[in-house]
Structure 1
Amino acid sequence: MRWVLVTLCLLCSQFAEADAYSLYLLRHAEKQSSQSKDPGLSEPGLQRAQALAQLLAKVPLSHIYSTDYQRTRQTVAPLAHTHHLMVELYAPGELMALANQLRQQRENALVVGHSNTTPQLLMLLGVAEVQMDESSYGDLYQLNIRDGKVQVIQLQIPLP
């Protein structure tokens, strides 16, 4: 009887772990100073994108989401390559739909956005207000979600 209880406890703990997942949210890396509405990344931005890929190389990601801008796609391109994942595009105006999709999937995912969309998405996912300005680069928010409760860890993506 004791082994039956131990086995049941182990099975239940595995199911509980299956409900836990992590989301990683960040603003794109440093962009080129350009008059273009769709600038690519600057050299420091490209370096930070590589650092992101190294930082999260061993994190089991199922999805990588980006807006359809050069700077966001370039930020996650090295990470997507490392994980052999396609970058899934989302519309910046559809953050509620994205938040709902992330909650329903219950899988580890990374979302890259902008200084105005990343704080909004964080709030939609249950994080207190986060201030982000045009000079904020390198902040990475890890949301550990279990049983609907969100624990936030703020990390920094270093420049090499």
Structure 2
Amino acid sequence: MKKILFLFVFAFGLFTSCTSQETTTYYLIRHSEKDRSDKTNRNPDLSEDGQERATNWADYFEDIDLDAVYSTNYNRTMQTATPTAESKDLEILNYDPRNMFDAEFEKATKGKTVLVVGHSNTTPAFVNKILGEKKHEDLDDNDNASLFIVTISGDKKESIVKKIE
């Protein structure tokens, strides 16, 4: 009887470990509207509209449990990420846009829900890197409203794009 009980418990444990899949969710956005008044400034701050959008992003993510917030180390991306990170009591972690979704990043975010703030060219490129295919093109320079959501569950990877105005 003990052997049968042991086999049952072992089989149940094996079954549940095989059927339960860890889900990773990435929310990827481009920085909010930047101040374009100084054409020579390569690291501008957000404009007033951009600051308002950054606050709106925090409102959007209010009911989403984020485990981490990542941003490139530019004023406009950091300023876009700040309201959301502060509302979640999270530190903003920097990533290198030239080295996106490497093994270290993938391991650090596996099974988590993460916000990534980037740029018009790096955000779709980051999504493509996660998916392992070139599915999305660079964003238009005036597009600060696109939200990419990538979900990974087991071997299945899905992405959707929403406009959040």
CA distance in 2, matches of 1:148, 1:30: 36
User: Matched residue pairs, number?
Assistant: 150
Give the partner amino acid of 1:12.
T
Unaligned runs of 5+ in 1: none
Pick from 128, 141, 144: which aligns with 1:137? 144
Give the partner amino acid of 2:24.
Y
Shift of 1:148: 2.6
Shift of 1:96: 4.3
Is 1:152 aligned to 2:159, yes or no? yes
Deviations 1:14-36 (A, max 9, x none): 9725x012101111010001221
Structure with a larger share of its residues in helix: 1
Structure 1 or 2, whichever has the larger Rg, is 2
Could you state the TM-score of these two structures normalised by the residue count of structure 1?
A: 0.83
Superposition RMSD in Å: 2.3
Pick from 16, 20, 26: which aligns with 1:16? 20
Q: 2:122·2:138 contact (CA, 8 Å) conserved in 1?
A: no
Unaligned runs of 5+ in 2: none
The correspondence of residues 14-93 of structure 1 with structure 2, limited to 5 A, is: 16-17=20-21, 19-33=22-36, 34-35=38-39, 36-93=41-98
CA distance in 1, matches of 2:29, 2:17: 31
Cα–Cα, structure 1 residues 101 and 140, in superposed 2: closer, same or farther, change >3 Å? Answer: farther
Q: 1:51·1:157 contact (CA, 8 Å) conserved in 2?
A: no
CA distance in 1, matches of 2:18, 2:82: 33
CA distance in 2, matches of 1:48, 1:13: 42
Pick from 126, 129, 135: which aligns with 1:124? 129
Could you state the TM-score of these two structures normalised by the residue count of structure 2?
A: 0.81
